[in-house]
Amino acid sequence: MARARFIIIGGGRVGRVLAYHLLQAGHRVMGIVETHPARATELKALFPEVPVEDAIPEDGLSQCDCLLICVPDDQITEVVKTLIPHKTHLQRQIIVHTSGSVPSAVLSPLRHRSVQCVSAHPISSFSTLHPSTQSLQHVFFDLEGDPEGVQWFSRIVADLGGRALSVTIEQKKAIHLAAVFYSNFFLGLAAAAQDILQQQGFPSEHRFQPFLPLIQATLSNLEQQPPLQALTGPLKRGDVSTIQTHLDLLKRHAPEWLPLYREICRALLPKLDLPEDKKHRLKQLLG
């Protein structure tokens, strides 16, 4: 699409990755608003050609095509309040926030003269590494909001190499919850695994690397099959004695993870194709 002009509010992980890839795609970033001094210094080094300000530039508001709000969820309302006095400068802009859980309706006070409001959440994880190392190729963005705005930002997503997914408000909430299970809780499980190995004296380099082929094979299986078909291990087989061993080990060495093990097994058990007597024994064992 034609070169679009952006002002980005918030220069954290998401804001700087989007700024980098927008510039790479040939769009113009007219400015980044960042109030944190150390972060502002980092942004000036990352993007020497982009003005970094600690306040919203009034003249830029009327000139930009898209105002992109990349702040934490609980700060979006405050940003909107800050923008309301500048509402008359907004004419036919697309206003977008990148929260996964907050709907586009939070931007409604800024609607004015055909201003379109959109939430555009990249379903990915952004680190503190240089934004050039974090590709948006094939990353899905769930988009919710005013239809024209969603259509416009879908074209931006395509320019970034991503894929747009138009959703309802309830679907957006479900996507964010699913992302927490897929990403945040996965890392929580990794922490549990490493704690268990640490308790048995394994050095740090042996708490992850030996399991990397297993993790990669599991992800490969998940790409090709539903989770319950890809599932392997003692619960899938109904190995009562092995699960008893696991429970005993957790009780002795990592009791804080015992409820997690039990609850995951209990939630999966009714979905598994096991003989009823084994299901009954496992149900009793798991409490």
List of residues 6+ apart from 243 with CB closer than 8 A: 234, 235, 265, 282, 285, 286
Contact by Cβ (8 Å): 13, 7: no
| Phi and psi at residue 33, to the nearest 5° | -100, 120
Strand residues in the chain grouped as ranges (E): 5-9, 28-33, 52-53, 66-69, 94-97, 116-122, 140-145, 163-166
Contact by Cβ (8 Å): 143, 150: yes
Whether residues 233 and 271 share a domain: the answer is yes
Whether residues 10 and 83 share a domain: the answer is yes
Whether residues 226 and 262 share a domain: the answer is yes
Which of 167, 191, 220 is a domain's end point?
A: 167
Contact by Cβ (8 Å): 95, 73: no
**CA 126 to CA 98: how far, in whole Å?**
13
CATH number for position 139: 3.40.50.720
**CA 250 to CA 254: how far, in whole Å?**
5
Whether residues 27 and 136 share a domain: the answer is yes
In this structure, the chain runs to a length of 287
If you ran DSSP here, which 8-state letter would residue 49 be given? T
Whether residues 160 and 228 share a domain: the answer is no
**CA 114 to CA 117: how far, in whole Å?**
10
**CA 85 to CA 65: how far, in whole Å?**
19
Contact by Cβ (8 Å): 53, 32: yes
Which DSSP string corresponds to 8-47?
A: EE--SHHHHHHHHHHHHTT-EEEEEE---HHHHHHHHHH-
**CA 131 to CA 21: how far, in whole Å?**
8
CA nearest 39: which of 67, 68, 71, 69?
A: 71
**Tell me, what amino acid is at 235?**
L
Cross-strand bridge partners of residue 32: 8, 52
**Tell me, what amino acid is at 238?**
G
Whether residues 134 and 194 share a domain: the answer is no
Contact by Cβ (8 Å): 88, 112: yes
Q: Would you state the pLDDT for residue 1? A: 66
Which of 167, 187, 204 is a domain's end point?
A: 167
CATH number for position 260: 1.10.1040.20
Whether residues 126 and 223 share a domain: the answer is no
CA nearest 139: which of 112, 116, 157, 154?
A: 157
Domain span at residue 153 reads 5-167
Give the predicted TM-score (pTM) of the model: 0.89
Whether residues 276 and 208 share a domain: the answer is yes
Number of compact structural domains in the chain: 2
Q: What is the pLDDT along the chain (287 residues), one digit of tens a residue?
A: 679 999 999 999 999 999 999 999 999 999 999 999 999 999 999 999 999 999 988 888 889 999 999 999 999 999 999 999 988 888 889 999 999 999 999 999 998 778 999 999 999 999 888 999 999 999 999 999 999 999 999 999 999 999 999 999 999 999 999 999 999 999 999 999 999 999 999 999 999 999 999 999 999 999 999 999 999 999 999 999 999 999 999 999 999 999 999 999 999 999 999 999 999 999 999 98
Q: Would you state the pLDDT for residue 90? A: 85
User: Is the C-alpha dihedral spanning 99, 70, 122, 107 positive or negative?
Assistant: positive
**CA 144 to CA 118: how far, in whole Å?**
6
If you ran DSSP here, which 8-state letter would residue 137 be given? T
Whether residues 71 and 178 share a domain: the answer is no
Which of 147, 167, 187 is a domain's end point?
A: 167
Q: Would you state the pLDDT for residue 128? A: 81
Whether residues 275 and 244 share a domain: the answer is yes
| Phi and psi at residue 7, to the nearest 5° | -115, 130
Whether residues 127 and 178 share a domain: the answer is no
CA triplet 57, 61, 65: central angle to 5 degrees?
140
Whether residues 39 and 95 share a domain: the answer is yes
